[in-house]
Structure 1
Amino acid sequence: MFVDSHCHLDRLELDKLGLDLEGVIANAQQRQIEHLLCVSVSLAEYPAMAKLVKPYHQVSVSCGEHPLHQSDSVDVELLAKLAAGAEVVAVGETGLDYFYSPDSKLSQQDGFVKHISVARKLQKPLIIHTRDARSDTIALMKAHAADEAGGVLHCFTENYEMARAALDLGFYISLSGIVTFRNATELRDVVRKLPLDRLLIETDAPYLAPVPHRGKTNQPAYVTDVAAAMADLKAVTVQQLAKQTTDNFYQLFPLARAKRSAG
């Protein structure tokens, strides 16, 4: 069985898929994907997202504000209140993105630190987005004891040195469909060096559909294509890759494991 460790079900372009949400989840189940983590990008949108997926025991949620979606200042009291909900298994996504928004570095850093603080207090893992901000991401994780919460660097596209620094802090690394892209040679080299027991797989749907679906709207069912590419890189069977990454997911997100058991 597989897990899609990072998707945005509330942002799926269902008309392009020709499906409703129930159909999307059914597609995933048909491809042996037993659990999905629907990740928040906006505190303002979080309540609607949580309500949308509440009927589905196969779906867990996170709560946070993406660095490209935050206002000048993250409302830390609201974040703490919402993230404390029993349905929330992780804090984020949060982090730093200097590629798309270099002018907002300071506000991004402030928001990231607030998310780390909330995650530590709640003892819920962090979901971290990082792009073109390698040194600052790791520096803030170290300075503010992100290791006390743990978490994952999602949709990883950075170098081995950054991955190694995150692993040393007890974090996991999650790979998306980017690993299947023709120009992702360096990323594939990084993946070959990473320990299998610290890896997750994701779609980041509706974005970044893997080969052979590239250019289409992504959906959780396609995480099996990410798994196939990863298995090839790690020289294991797809079944071994599925089992290990699923075990890793429930190790990192114990509240998701509890929801699966309850479901």
Structure 2
Amino acid sequence: MLFDTHVHLNADQFMEDREETIERARAAGVEYMVVVGFDRKTIPLAIEIAEQYDFIYAAVGWHPVDAIDMTEEDLNWIEELSAHPKVVALGEMGLDYHWDKSPHDVQKTVFAKQIRLAKKLNMPVIIHNREATEDIITVLQEENAAEVGGIMHCYNDSADYVQTCLDMNFYISLGGPVTFKNATMPKEVAKIVPGDRLLIETDAPFLAPHPNRGKRNEPAYVALVAEKIAELRGVDVKELGRITTENAFRLFNINPHKK
């Protein structure tokens, strides 16, 4: 039993074969997924997909790259959509210093507003971090995001920051990079994250795991992520699947018996 906690089935790359992609995921043992919406186009589609499948849930938020485009109306819209029974988290949100579309101060403002909304709604947050770790931690601490906690999505940072994230009530989610032959940091992290704070994901269609690196990623490949982490931790892959799925249920407040 596997839970892909972060997938973009709402991306253009799945428009032609979304149903077949979902069927392949189920065949690979992926029993639950969260589809993440992050702008005006992908948010409604995330909810639409979640409505079609009882084992798929949605997250809604505003991506930091597009922070400059977000209005108060968008924030109010996200708040309205958060009441949907299939919406289980706010995000992805955070900071992205790789691309220069949105100034850093604008990103921080939009990030902080979404954290405050999450606290108002008592919902976990999904954090996108690219080349902005210190500022991410500062904003999370200043806004007391520990009140709701959430996920460090596709964690690809030093093991040195893991304890800081845990102390802020966050789970660590690992994806395709943990399988890359030359990726030492995710492998180190995979070994040290406490079992009750570990999650797995694909971020599909991005970051496909080895041996599919460079191709379109899809949720079925979360099985490859689970296998590598189980190997690194010296545990049975079924046990790793069980633990990470239970963690996701707890974080997202999902009762699997009420599908």
Query: What TM-score, normalized to structure 2?
Result: 0.94
Deviations 1:78-102 (A, max 9, x none): 2222223232100000001112238
Which position in structure 2 is the counterpart of 1:46? 43
Shift of 1:77: 2.1
Count residues in correspondence: 257
Report whether the alignment pairs 1:262 with 2:247. no
- Provide the rounded CA distance (Å) in 2 between the counterparts of 1:83 and 1:66: 16
SS at match of 2:117: helix
State the match for 2:24 in structure 1. Answer: 27
Moved over 6 A (4+): none
State the alpha-carbon separation in 2 of the partners of residues 92 and 101 from structure 1: 20
User: Can you give the 5+ residue segments of structure 1 that lack an aligned partner in the other structure?
Assistant: none
For the residues of structure 2 that align with 1:87 and 1:65, how far apart are their CA atoms?
Answer: 18
Q: Is the 8 A contact 2:62 2:70 kept in 1?
A: no
The residue identity in structure 2 corresponding to 1:123 is N
Task: Label 1:214 to 1:172 Cα distance change in 2 as closer, same or farther (>3 A).
Answer: same
Deviations 1:57-113 (A, max 9, x none): 111000101111333444332222222323210000000111223861111101110
The one-letter code of the counterpart of 2:197 is R
Match of 1:172 in 2: 171
Conserved 8 A contact 2:37-2:45? no
Find the counterpart in structure 2 of residue 4 from structure 1: 4
Q: Which residue of 1 aligns with 2:91?
A: 92
Aligned residue identity for 1:62: A
- Could you tell me which residue of structure 1 aligns to residue 198 of structure 2? 199
- Aligned counterparts of 1:71 and 1:239: Cα–Cα separation in 2: 43
Q: CA deviation at 1:245?
A: 0.5
Match of 1:141 in 2: 140
Q: Which runs of 5+ in 2 are unaligned?
A: none
For the aligned residues, what is the CA RMSD? 1.7
Question: Aligned AA for 2:82?
Answer: A
User: Could you give the per-residue CA deviations for residues 7-63 of structure 1, whole angstroms, max 9, x where no partner exists?
Assistant: 000115237xxx622211111111111100001111453123322342111110001
- Please give the alpha-carbon distance, in whole angstroms, between the structure 2 residues aligned to 1:101 and 1:80: 27
Letter in 2 for 1:13: Q
Aligned pairs for 1:63-74 (under 5 A) are 63-74=60-71
Partner of 2:110: 111
Percent sequence identity over aligned pairs: 39
TM score, norm. by length of structure 1: 0.92
* Counterpart residue number, 1:182: 181
Within 5 Å, give how 1:245-256 maps onto structure 2: 245-254=244-253
> How far apart, CA to CA, are the structure 2 residues paired with 1:14 and 1:103?
27
Amino acid at match of 1:181: F
Distance 1:12 1:5, change over 3 A: farther
